[in-house]
Amino acid sequence: MEADGFGHQSFPELKNDTFLRAAWGEETDYTPVWCMRQAGRYLPEFRETRAAQDFFSTCRSPEACCELTLQPLRRFPLDAAIIFSDILVVPQALGLEVTMVPGKGPSFPEPLREERDLERLRDPAVVASELGYVFQAITLTRQRLAGRVPLIGFAGAPWTLMTYMVEGGSSSTMAQAKRWLYQRPQASHQLLHILTDALVPYLVGQVAAGAQALQLFESHAGHLGPQLFNKFALPYICDVAKRVKAGLREAGLAQVPMEEIGRLVQQMLDDFGPQRYIANLGHGLYPDMDPEHVGAFVDAVHRHSRLLRQN
């Protein structure tokens, strides 16, 4: 068992650290793989586990999250597990109602429409205590992984969370959220600061609970041009990363790798070589994908990168 630097938490020793070494830029025997949405509806066992309860009830059950996180690892030789959760648990913890509508996706019945709506948000300092169920899921999963592969924790970046909170759900244009940036720049910065203040203790808490790497998903960065991105997205991503690192030091926790922008690109091995990155798959695994094809993808990356390295 390895203690995690903060005394009371000990976990089985890690047997496969390829993912972590790649994340730190170190040499690896092969290119490690994990897939966005690797715990997803393409797996029959996932659909079976999820059938009994609604989406956010599942997120609030550490036992269910642990089971869903482990399912893809029973089928495929993936190099990391990512905790089953959702980026929208943070807006929920800030006091906004979020429901998952079948066939439509996330929905906020009362999104942020006016500047004064920011007053409805809870103090960001309480967010981590509201999300104890995520920390419990991480600790349980880390124990049950038995050191097989590292466990990734994650959160949505401030701009991406803001888009959902203002749009009231998914949007192809982000027209409402972008209107905030143009017409209410001060209120936009205020909201992005609130989200940053909520995310820092949440991410530090995930590491304290057992996460060995952190992913910050800026899924909606593509909706911003370079100017808006540099003003309303990048400074907050950097601030989260800097403050999380400082928070880990203060808590006496070991540093973990943070891939700061989580827009994942399928990188072709021949172009990039087999070193210093982690293979993923476009925008993740969609429900209609054949699990056998996922297995073929993971095996091909491992096999081909080993060959490249030998040559």
Q: Is 298 left (phi over 0), alpha (psi -120 to 50) or beta?
A: alpha
Task: Provide the annotated active-site residues.
Answer: 37, 41, 50, 86, 164
pLDDT value at position 302? 84
pLDDT value at position 154? 97
Bridge partners, 28 (sequence order) = none
Residue 14 near residue 212 (C-beta atoms within 8 A): yes
pLDDT value at position 266? 32
Nearest CA to 133 among 208, 62, 36?
62
User: pTM of this prediction?
Assistant: 0.89
Residue 129 has a CB neighbour count (10 Å cut-off) of 11
Per-residue pLDDT of the chain (311 residues; tens, 9 = 90+): 554 444 457 999 999 999 999 999 899 999 999 999 999 999 999 999 998 789 999 999 999 999 999 999 999 999 999 999 999 999 999 999 999 998 889 999 999 999 999 999 999 999 999 999 999 999 999 999 999 999 999 999 999 999 999 999 999 999 999 999 999 999 999 999 999 999 999 999 999 999 999 999 998 988 988 899 889 998 999 899 999 999 999 999 999 998 743 333 233 334 556 667 777 766 677 787 788 878 877 887 888 788 878 87
β-strand pairing of 258-259 with 105-107: unpaired
Burial of 44 (0-12, 13-18, 19+ CB in 10 A): exposed
Alpha helices, H only, 60-169: 62-75, 89-93, 127-130, 132-145, 158-167
Bridge partners, 215 (sequence order) = 154, 259
pLDDT value at position 226? 84
Return d(Cα 261, Cα 168) in angstroms, integer: 23
Return d(Cα 33, Cα 234) in angstroms, integer: 26
pLDDT value at position 304? 72
Rg of the chain on CA atoms, in Å: 19
pLDDT value at position 276? 72
Residue 115 near residue 185 (C-beta atoms within 8 A): no
- Between CA 187 and CA 191, with CA 188 as vertex, the angle to 5 degrees is 85
pLDDT value at position 236? 95
Q: Is 93 left (phi over 0), alpha (psi -120 to 50) or beta?
A: alpha
Burial of 101 (0-12, 13-18, 19+ CB in 10 A): exposed
Residue 74 near residue 148 (C-beta atoms within 8 A): no
Contacts of 217 (CB under 8 A, 6+ apart): 87, 154, 155, 156, 157, 160, 262
pLDDT value at position 3? 47
